[in-house]
Structure 1
Amino acid sequence: MKIGRWNLAPVPALIVGIVAISFSAIFIKWSEAPASILGMYRLLFTVLLMAPFTGRAVRREMRRIKPVDGGLLFLSGLFLGLHFLFWIESLRHTSVASSMIVLSLQPVLVAIGAYAVFRERTGGAALLGMGMALAGTVLIGWGDIGFSREAVYGDVLSLLGTLAVSVHMLIGQRLCAHIPSHVYSFLVFLTAAGVLAAYNLAAGIGMTAYPAREWGIFLLLAVVPTVFGHLLFNSLLRVVGATTVSMSILGEPVGAILLAYLLLGEGITDYQALGGALTLAGLAVFLKTKRTAPSPERPARESA
């Protein structure tokens, strides 16, 4: 796997990415800035950090991109922007545990989309795993109904964010088959930042009057979960495919919930524990029954 001029092995890159994105929810919880501002500066700072290393390659590839791929790049950026808008806002209304477990449904949604787009089939055991994961998420939501309506609202936002990022990853699987992953990431991050900037302008949300502490959090979100998380995952799309990357990110909810317990003092309810265990068990069954090796001849085509 290659990112710009660096060759990286998929497994170590994946481990680094999982650890990095586990901090995302913690940084967001520390911030008081609006969700759209957090998402916008997270992506904008990432683009600025990438520019010195990818600028020449981006200019070269831009001349080769076909109009249809340009449209898909915009859609990928649009859905990534929506993902950050919905998911970051969900953390304002529900716990890290609930939001992250709902987000862990991403591989199931990607698998469904992969069948529709790439005709990747899912066997009976994998379908059982999907059912277990969905049941676990329903259990988490049921527990939050007893907790507060606001928590349920947060769960719904997290689900919308999960749907958005699933579409983003499926588009990325197709585009990264013939566009270098670092170029794809740069253009998509820039597009998503532009989408969120347009939202902020339309909603009348101020974009500059934030204390130094918030700017530090914006930078942390760019460096840790985005550069060392999303950027690495985008690079893996061509190697192992969208569904396998999504399934492997199952370490994020576990890491985020543990960090929330240690750093934020958030407890875990019985419903969250039981629903989370059922969701992760179902997703583990799903992963065990799927193949992870993509075909070299087709865009990251794998049964996972």
Structure 2
Amino acid sequence: MPNFKMLSVLIPLSVAIGIAAISFSSIFVRWSEAPVSVIAMYRLWLANVLLLPWLAGNWREISRLTGKQWLLLLATGGALGLHFLLWMASLRFTSVSSSTSLLTLEPIFVMLAGIWWFRQKPQRSELVGMGIAVIGAMLIGWHDFSFTLRSLQGDLLSLLGAAAVAVHMLIGKQLRETMSAYVYSFFSFFLAACLLAVYNLFRSIPLGGYGLKEWGVFMLLAAVPTLFGHYLFNWLLKYLRAASVSMTVLGEPAGSTLLALILLNEPVTYKQLLAMMILLFGVWIFLRKKEYSRRKTHKLNGSLDQA
């Protein structure tokens, strides 16, 4: 278990790496022409393949999982699979900035559920920071918002995807109290991919016949936004509240919009750049009160305050 001094370095570093990694997700999805359910399925299964070398070392913990833990893993895996299915589908109907901006409603869902589920009472500064960040994120995608039926369909899919990942985050917070990041991530990824496979088979969506380019995209999604993004956020759930981990994800619209400019030639306006600054300012306000405390470090054996 990392000590307090190590955590004070690892947590900000993990947040920065995670935000940068998930910002590539929408770009990679746009590069693929495969069905979104297939992209999501292979993204998660290939992440499992990359994690396999460490499976034997965690077998003792796996053998001790209870029936309740397996049911919760199935539930969080289902929520994760549904999130990928809905959000990736939204990118077929709307722009990167519009889709990722609507995902910023995730921390609101998480905070509201946290108040009910974990009896967490948000501070005023947290509410202000979240409000500013969400406004900034929405402004990033505002110029792309359209009231055509196709765009509204994409926006709705992204919104439902945000709700699904909020459920995944909250269940993950509960499981990470007694489960390692490796075991939680490995089986939530695996079960999500299996549920997506069932969906593909039910819809008669081909599981094979994809070219080398598609497999390259699947592997990029597995390695970058899944392992360096979602895995790190799963690790952070042990040390931060679910709402705080969700807040760090708000950096994705800014990163994705800049990457879309560079890699997809989607234009970025000065208003969007200003909106990015507003977004990051809101995230800073929310997170500036460090959630870790030396006073409780001994109590949680190195974990953070309010974990």
Using the size of structure 2 for normalisation, the TM-score is 0.86
Instruction: Please give the alpha-carbon distance, in whole angstroms, between the structure 1 residues aligned to 2:220 and 2:269.
Output: 29
Instruction: Please give the alpha-carbon distance, in whole angstroms, between the structure 2 residues aligned to 1:166 and 1:298.
Output: 25
Aligned to 2:244: 244
Q: 1:153 to 1:281 in 2, by over 3 A?
A: farther
Instruction: Please give the alpha-carbon distance, in whole angstroms, between the structure 2 residues aligned to 1:170 and 1:271.
Output: 34
- 1:226 matches 2:226: yes
Please report how far the alpha carbon of residue 123 of structure 1 lies from its aligned counterpart in structure 2 after TM superposition: 2.7
Q: Flag structure 2 segments of 5+ consecutive residues without an equivalent.
A: none
1:36-185 paired onto structure 2 within 5 Å: 36-57=37-58, 59-132=59-132, 146=146, 148-185=148-185
Please report how far the alpha carbon of residue 143 of structure 1 lies from its aligned counterpart in structure 2 after TM superposition: 5.3
Amino acid at match of 1:260: A
Q: 1:142 to 1:266 in 2, by over 3 A?
A: closer
Aligned to 1:10: 11
Instruction: Please give the alpha-carbon distance, in whole angstroms, between the structure 2 residues aligned to 1:276 and 1:129.
Output: 14
Contact 1:110 1:169 in 2 (8 A): yes
Instruction: Please give the alpha-carbon distance, in whole angstroms, between the structure 2 residues aligned to 1:138 and 1:283.
Output: 14
Q: 1:101 to 1:162 in 2, by over 3 A?
A: same
Please report how far the alpha carbon of residue 162 of structure 1 lies from its aligned counterpart in structure 2 after TM superposition: 0.9
Aligned to 1:256: 256
Please report how far the alpha carbon of residue 159 of structure 1 lies from its aligned counterpart in structure 2 after TM superposition: 1.1
Please report how far the alpha carbon of residue 104 of structure 1 lies from its aligned counterpart in structure 2 after TM superposition: 2.1
Contact 1:43 1:189 in 2 (8 A): yes
1:12-31 paired onto structure 2 within 5 Å: 12-31=13-32
SS of residue paired to 2:55: helix
Contact 2:251 2:279 in 1 (8 A): no
Instruction: Please give the alpha-carbon distance, in whole angstroms, between the structure 1 residues aligned to 2:220 and 2:152.
Output: 29
Select between 118-127 and 203-212 the one with higher mean Cα deviation: 118-127
Select between 31-40 and 249-258 the one with higher mean Cα deviation: 249-258
Amino acid at match of 1:61: E
Q: How high is the sequence identity, in percent, across the aligned residues? A: 45
Please report how far the alpha carbon of residue 209 of structure 1 lies from its aligned counterpart in structure 2 after TM superposition: 1.2
Please report how far the alpha carbon of residue 109 of structure 1 lies from its aligned counterpart in structure 2 after TM superposition: 1.9
Amino acid at match of 2:11: P
Instruction: Please give the alpha-carbon distance, in whole angstroms, between the structure 2 residues aligned to 1:133 and 1:177.
Output: 28
Aligned to 2:191: 191
Q: Flag structure 1 segments of 5+ consecutive residues without an equivalent.
A: none
Amino acid at match of 1:192: A
Contact 2:239 2:304 in 1 (8 A): no
Please report how far the alpha carbon of residue 31 of structure 1 lies from its aligned counterpart in structure 2 after TM superposition: 0.6
Deviations along 1:238-257, whole A, 9 cap, x unmatched?
Answer: 02232222212222221111
Please report how far the alpha carbon of residue 268 of structure 1 lies from its aligned counterpart in structure 2 after TM superposition: 4.0
Contact 1:21 1:224 in 2 (8 A): yes
SS of residue paired to 2:94: coil
Please report how far the alpha carbon of residue 140 of structure 1 lies from its aligned counterpart in structure 2 after TM superposition: 7.2
Amino acid at match of 2:85: L
SS of residue paired to 1:209: coil
**RMSD (CA atoms):** 2.9
Amino acid at match of 2:218: F
Select between 115-124 and 38-47 the one with higher mean Cα deviation: 115-124
Amino acid at match of 1:292: E
Contact 1:97 1:268 in 2 (8 A): no
Select between 203-212 and 247-256 the one with higher mean Cα deviation: 247-256
Please report how far the alpha carbon of residue 259 of structure 1 lies from its aligned counterpart in structure 2 after TM superposition: 0.4
SS of residue paired to 2:18: helix
Instruction: Please give the alpha-carbon distance, in whole angstroms, between the structure 2 residues aligned to 1:135 and 1:9.
Output: 29
Deviations along 1:21-49, whole A, 9 cap, x unmatched?
Answer: 11111110111111100100000001111
Contact 2:254 2:276 in 1 (8 A): no
Amino acid at match of 2:243: T
Deviations along 1:129-163, whole A, 9 cap, x unmatched?
Answer: 44455556776787556463322211111111111
Amino acid at match of 1:39: A
Q: 1:84 to 1:146 in 2, by over 3 A?
A: closer
Please report how far the alpha carbon of residue 9 of structure 1 lies from its aligned counterpart in structure 2 after TM superposition: 2.1
Contact 2:248 2:283 in 1 (8 A): no
Instruction: Please give the alpha-carbon distance, in whole angstroms, between the structure 2 residues aligned to 1:243 and 1:100.
Output: 18
Q: 1:271 to 1:88 in 2, by over 3 A?
A: farther
